[in-house]
Every structure is written in structure tokens, then in C-alpha cells.
Structure 1
Amino acid sequence: MLIAACVVVFLLGFGVAILISSKSKSSKVFSKALSAWLPTRQSQSYHEDTQRTDNDVLLTKAQCEAFPPVSWQKQAYDNVKSILLAEDEAAEKFPCIYATAGYRQNQHRYVFLHSADSSEPRNIRLIANALRTFRPLSHSLGPNTSLLLVHPPTKENHSVEKYRQCFWQILRGLRTCDSESWPAEIPTDVNAAKWMFCFDGAPWFFAAMTPAHEQRQSRHASNFIVAVQPRWVFDHLFRTPEMRRHAVEAVRKLIPFYDTVDISPDLAAYGDEGSTEAHQYYLLDDNETAACPYNDLDAS
């Protein structure tokens, strides 16, 4: 059935890594994690320093657990954990069973942004470097892996529409600092049925979660979070028609118990006529279409 139906509730798999060992080791891990989100020298150029990669920005479960309980990073991580494991007594089972499986199997990585402004050059550089590092690493993490881009909390209560603008600013910013050519077989027109966002020469899938989503609880989180997966994850999960059907049905049967709005009509199989993944990356809280504000992410 529909590729993106499986990700309406999040992205497939979220992995996590390594258990916490000793208290002294945790303090060292925290120091490394802290350096990843301390302010860096400001620059108005996305291109500056985009070739540098730093494995320390891809945090594991152990590193997230090591943050102080009062830190926003630990609180945001705990919220994700609570969602995936349905830790609240009143919570329904999270519909994307693959996301929960990925968490339990320690397959995902986290990146905590410097600020709540998605378009800040230092945030775009951080995300660009994280994607470059994550893509080759993802194959060793497992088929339910995801990269979570976690924003700090905001002082203002943003609307769903405001977060939509922030989301597309991230993708547009990534295009400005991509050193690899866009794959020739994938159109650049975001309204094309075969369009996928590409970075570092490869296609990716995105799913945004925000504090503003209320009816579509499967897209709600305490912080603005963008979950990212390399396309090979879907190719693996849906490698036969039967596996595709089973995966989609397993998720869809849980959604009515979780969301108070119907499944978005924008969710469609990749390449279906009249559809585009640009409508699927960021779902609204109702069933209106959340179109990309740009026809071409490279257009000035």
C-alpha cells in the first residue's frame, strides 16, 4: 500500500545505542555532548566549515541519559522515550511499531540544535555535518534507524504553520551547503511525483513533530523534532509487496486509537500520480495539504 503511511506517525525506527556504564564515564560523555551544542563562531555563510564532520554530534542513548535532569536536552529525550514506549498510563500504543522497535534495539541517534531558530547558519551546518556522518553509519545501526534533529524549547507558542515554515527553512538551508550534485534521476520540482529531498548525493525521508500538533498526536512532541531516515530503510522494509502490505497495515490499524483526526489523504506511495513527498514530510493538524512554500528549493 502506501510507503508514507508507515511514517505518518513518525519515521520507522529510531535507534539508540550503548547503555550507561560508570558515573565517571557519564560525566566525560556529558562534557563531549556539551561541546556539541555550545555556541560556535557566528557566520552568515552556510558553506563555511560544512566539510567538517564530528561523530560527537550524533549522540547515543547513553549520552542522552547522561544529561542533567534539568537540562532541556534530557527533558526532550525523555519525552521521545515516553512517546515511543507509551510510558504514560493513559497513553495508547505508539502506532509506528518500527519506531518503538528501533528505540528498543538501540538504533537511532540524536542531534541537539544550538538554538530554536532552524535557519541559523550554525544550525544548518550542524545538521549538514550530521547527515553526512549518519548516512554511512546508518547501515551498521540497523533497518529501523533514524536521526532525530531536536530543537530547544521556544519562549513563544508557535503555531503549526510557523513550524511548517521552520521545517522548510531547514531543507532550503541544506541545499545551499550541499557539495554533491542532485541525483539526475530525481526531479528538482517539489511538486513532481518522483521528487524526494536529496542531500550528499542521496535521497532522504523526513517527518516533523511539533508541540503545536494536538489532533494528530502521532506528530506531537514537547519540542520541535525532525526525524530523518535514508531512503534505503524503506527499500529494505518494503522489499516485497507482501512485506509492504503487512508493514502498512500494522501501523494503520493503531492510528485511530492514537489520533483524533483521520489519516492524512496526502500520504501516498512514492511516485503515485498526483502525489509528492513534499506534502508528506510535514503534515498539518487537520487534513488540509501542507504544501512546500517553494517550487524549487534551489531557486533564489
Structure 2
Amino acid sequence: MKRLIEHHGKEDWRSKSYDKFQENILDESSPFPCYFAVEAEKKGLARYIFIDSPYDNHELDRLRNGLYQYIGNYRSIGKRTTLVTFFKPSSHNLQAEDYKNQFWHVLQYLADHDPVSWPSDIPQNPEDPKWEFCFAGEPIFVVARAPFYSARKSRYTPYALEITMQPRGTLDDITGDTKKGQQVRRVIRERLKQYDLIPPHPDIGDYGTEQTREWMQYVLPDTNEESVVRCPFTRKKGD
């Protein structure tokens, strides 16, 4: 495997996770909705880190350090670069809530152990439409994929939790208030309709608009009748 943030030997679960990810993203017979992810994989702009446990502090410190390194260097990698974190599959039979809890625990740990203060121009209250997850002073677009998804195929991964992080700086030329950005969103949402077995979730929206909450889109429910009603994330400790 290549382009890894950190690598301690080619373990079987790592190989399987990455191979399935690449197969999914590059499948031309069923094009993945987010063509930025496809572009990043094709052009070698993606970076990867493998974590043994979403609850082990040593492992989460590895993730923190890898993410900090990535944020410091991402602009030199390429415009549409992205960081994908793969977690080791559990030996237990996990349910949807287990994966959701894993995700929010990881995000909270990263925020609480961020070596840089929360950006002054980003609200710390998740209920503010301008809020988004930040680390190392950088706003980040976050997407979770997990094995519990069925109808929402674009969020499905067969083995374990997977978190993709894309710094906002990689998307600053296609914001929702630009013609190019609006076109990009139309294309991606149309591809989502073709890819998933259900329509796009009603909580999906454009960052910053009054009715949109960024955190509601991180770990989407597998049905459109559900919504995340309370944000599990709390403000960074010490800020």
C-alpha cells in the first residue's frame, strides 16, 4: 500500500480494508457519487491511516498526530486531497448505534486533544449553521461510512468504521454560493439518486445556510424517516 500517513506493517485487515475501499471508489460499472473521492484516488491525492481501536488513547493519539501532519501539508499534495481513516474490524457484532458512538468518540477525542485552539471565525456551538468540525485550526468536511448501512450504499463499507476528512481549503473554489459549486452539487446529488437505494437524506444541505446543520450529515441514518436530533459533540475542552 502507498501514500500512508503511518504504516507499521501490512496487516491483513489493513489490506482488505484498503482493497475494498479502492474497488468501491474506482468501480466504473457503478460510479461512486462523490467524484472528488474518485479523482483523489485516481490521481494519488488521497492519504490513509489505519487505527486499531476507536477507543484506545494510544491509537487515537496516532490518529491525532497523523491528522496534524496531514493538515500541515495538505496544500502541497493537491487541490482535492483527502484523508481516509480505516478502523480495525471488531470481533463483536456491532449495531448502528455502536458505530455512531465510535465516530463521535473519535471526533470528540481529536477536538479535546487538538494542539491548536478552535478557529475564532468558526462558532463553537454545533447548532450554529456556520459550525463545522475543526482541527489544527482548519475547518474540515467529515463523512463516516460503516457496515450498518444498507439502503444508503454510498455510506456502506463492509468491515468497520471509516472516516474521510477533507479540509475546507480543498473545496473553497466550489462553495454553494458559486455557479461552479452549485453545478457540482447538482451532479453529485443526481449521482446519489442513481447509486443509493433511497433518495438523498433531507438533512443534506449546503454549509452555512440557515436550515442546514453540518454535523447532521456526518453519520446519516440509513432511512430518510430518521434524523440526528441532538449533536453528540461538545465544545473543545479548555476553549
* Residue in structure 2 matching 1:34, options 8, 22, 38: 8
1:215 is paired with a residue of what secondary structure? coil
Give structure 1 stretches of 5+ with no counterpart. 1-15, 19-28, 36-66
Give 3-state SS (helix, strand or coil) of 1:253's partner.
helix
Match of 2:231 in 1: 292
Is the partner of 2:49 in helix, strand or coil? strand
Contact 2:111 2:236 in 1 (8 A): yes
The residue aligned with 1:157 is: 93
Equivalent position of 2:102 in the other structure: 166
Q: Which ranges in structure 2 are unaligned for 5 or more consecutive residues?
A: none
Q: Describe how 1:184-263 pairs up with structure 2 within 5 A.
A: 184-222=120-158, 223-238=160-175, 241-263=178-200
State the secondary structure of the residue aligned to 2:84. strand
- Percent identity over paired residues: 29
Give the alignment's TM-score, normalised by structure 1: 0.72
Checking the alignment, whether the CA contact within 8 Å between 1:168 and 1:292 is kept in structure 2 is no
- Tell me how far apart the structure 1 counterparts of residues 38 and 16 of structure 2 sit (CA, whole Å): 19
What's the counterpart of residue 113 of structure 1?
51
Q: Distance in 1 between matches of 2:223 and 2:201?
A: 8
Instruction: Report how many aligned residue pairs link the two structures.
Output: 234
Measured after TM superposition, the shift of residue 33 of structure 1 is: 2.3
| SS in structure 1 at match of 2:8 | helix
Q: Superposition RMSD on alpha carbons, in Å?
A: 2.2
**Whose RCO is larger (CA < 8 A, sep 6+)?**
1
CA contact 2:146–2:156 (8 Å) conserved in 1: yes
Letter in 2 for 1:229: Q
**Are residues 266 and 240 of structure 1, via their aligned partners in 2, closer, same or farther at CA, if it must alter by over 3 Å?**
closer
Give 3-state SS (helix, strand or coil) of 1:235's partner: coil
Q: Distance in 2 between matches of 1:203 and 1:272?
A: 16
Indicate which of 18, 28, 37 corresponds to 1:77: 18
- Partner in structure 2 of residue 266 of structure 1: 203
Contact 2:32–2:154 under 8 Å retained in 1: yes
Question: TM-score when scaled to structure 2?
Answer: 0.90
